[in-house]
């Protein structure tokens, strides 16, 4: 089946595009997910049914075969989960915002240029159907992700939440065309393994990268709160993903104890 690559302004708007194309009325989504994705789905008046994930970020629930399921490729280290789910569920939608390099699979998949590269906006949507809408190009200025402080990031995300579906800006597309993708990929993996050598014996998350895994951050799970403070003193911007989850949820440990270390190089 022919696949199109639609160049849009934001990853969350790729999901809105998918919902429009397939007239999705209900979608399964994990509790542990960026709240901007939840907001994007609700803007399309699509009902959300939440599911839990296990210690390996795999859905704890099973779904009807034809259900629409959104699965995030968590931190760019869950390619194995993505491929397994895509074989089981034909309507799997893959959120690759944390792995630009992940191969396309599922009903549709999308990524984020802004999270991986020094561009103002941009996301690639892989899909087999297109809308007839002639969207305008996005000429808004968004600070590249890696350049922002925490407060700037919060302010920027609030601004992005009101952005409609638009095509990627031509400036971003031109800049991105000059990016050495292999070089950027190799540097990211090299920095990832630098952190992994340092923390693998302490990290409660056991990580084994496959050839499809190109991480967004180094996910370090530890109950030692001093580790985050130590990393911040070293100049790393440490955030928590994402909104608060109840402490009786199995995902609470990710919210509470996961330290996402940026892969700056």
CATH of 4-177, one of 3.40.640.10, 3.90.470.20, 3.40.50.1110, 3.30.420.480: 3.40.640.10
Return the bridge partners of 259, or none.
220
Where exactly are the structural domains of the chain? 4-177, 181-262
Tokens of 105: 């699979």
The total of other beta-carbon atoms located within 10 Å of residue 225's CB is 11
Where do runs of H (alpha helix) occur along the chain? Answer: 11-22, 35-43, 79-88, 113-116, 150-160, 170-177, 181-199, 226-233, 252-257
181-262 has CATH 3.40.50.2300 classification: no
Report pLDDT digits (tens) over 77-123: 999 999 999 999 999 999 999 999 999 999 999 999 988 988 878 99
Reported pTM? 0.92
Helix, strand, coil abundance in the chain, percent, nearest 5? 35, 20, 45
Q: What is the pLDDT of residue 18?
A: 98
Contacts with 225 (C-beta within 8 Å, 6 or more apart), sequence order? none
Least confident of 11-20, 27-36, 146-155, 250-259: 146-155
How far is 96 from 221, CA to CA, in rounded Å?
Answer: 21
């Amino acid at each position: 089946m022919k696949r199109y690559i639609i160049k849009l302004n934001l990853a969350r708007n790729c999901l809105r595009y998918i919902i429009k194309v397939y007239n999705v009325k209900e979608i399964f989504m994990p509790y542990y997910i960026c709240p901007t994705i939840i907001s994007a789905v609700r803007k399309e008046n699509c009902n959300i049914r939440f599911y839990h994930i296990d210690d390996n970020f795999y859905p704890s629930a099973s779904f009807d075969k034809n259900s629409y399921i959104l699965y995030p490729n968590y931190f760019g280290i869950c390619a194995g989960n993505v491929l397994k789910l895509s074989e089981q569920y034909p309507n799997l939608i893959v959120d690759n915002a944390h792995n630009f390099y992940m191969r396309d699979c599922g009903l549709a998949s999308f990524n984020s240029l802004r999270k991986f590269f020094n561009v103002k906006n941009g996301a690639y949507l892989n899909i087999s159907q297109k809308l007839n809408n002639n969207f305008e190009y996005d000429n808004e200025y968004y600070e590249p992700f890696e350049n922002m402080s925490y407060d700037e990031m919060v302010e920027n995300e609030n601004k992005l939440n009101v952005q409609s579906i638009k095509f990627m800006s031509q400036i971003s597309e031109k800049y991105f065309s000059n990016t050495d993708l292999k070089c950027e990929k190799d540097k990211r993996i090299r920095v990832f393994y630098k952190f992994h050598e340092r923390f693998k014996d302490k990290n409660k998350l056991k990580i084994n990268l496959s050839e499809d895994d190109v991480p967004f951050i180094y996910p370090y799970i530890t109950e030692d709160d001093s580790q985050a403070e130590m990393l911040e003193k070293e100049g790393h911007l440490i955030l928590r993903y994402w909104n608060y989850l109840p402490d009786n949820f199995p995902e609470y440990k990710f919210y509470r104890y996961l330290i996402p270390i940026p892969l700056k190089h």
